[in-house]
Amino acid sequence: MTTYDLNTILDDWDKDSRIGSDLSEASTKTPLLHAKYLRLYSEVKLRMRMQENNQKKLLKAKWLYYNGKMPKEDIDKRGWAYDPFDGMSKPLKGDMDYFYESDDEIIQSEDKVQYYKNMLETLKEILNNITWRHQTLRNAIEYKKFESGV
């Protein structure tokens, strides 16, 4: 998979979205742009799915960890502290959400999922723009006709 980030996609689109004065070249370029951004959309969608699966595994591990059911070997392997509550008594079941919601690894994982979702939304917008690019080209042709008095 090609490694693209949101800034690279936006920078590429900034260049690719320009039509210029050669309308026939711009017209023939449209399928190539669609292919490029559809490939990116597919790759990002797969990466997001992998990140969502990693997050599910992390949430399970954190559940085991916070509920005292994770073996010491697994805690050692992950480099986590043996006492997730830093000497406090174990919180009530209803208070556990505070620990999950403030856990740095869970927050980072959620941020990655949200980042991929943002990339997908951006790519959907770009693909939608490419889908309707022929209308923009048609409008440019009509304007040129108007300017020349045809």
What pLDDT score was predicted for residue 134? 78
pLDDT 10s per residue in the chain (150 long)?
457 899 999 999 999 998 877 877 888 888 999 999 999 999 999 999 999 999 999 999 999 999 999 999 999 999 999 999 888 888 888 888 888 999 999 999 999 999 999 999 999 999 999 988 877 777 777 777 788 777
20 Cβ neighbours under 8 A, 6+ residues apart? 26
9 Cβ neighbours under 8 A, 6+ residues apart? 40, 119, 122, 123, 126
As a whole number of angstroms, the distance between CA 59 and CA 5 comes to 25
Q: Under a CB-based contact definition with an 8 Å cutoff, are residues 18 and 30 in contact?
A: no
What pLDDT score was predicted for residue 2? 57
As a whole number of angstroms, the distance between CA 29 and CA 6 comes to 22
Q: Return the SS3 of 92.
A: coil
Q: How many CA atoms lie within 13 A of 47 on its CB side?
A: 20
State pTM to two decimals: 0.83
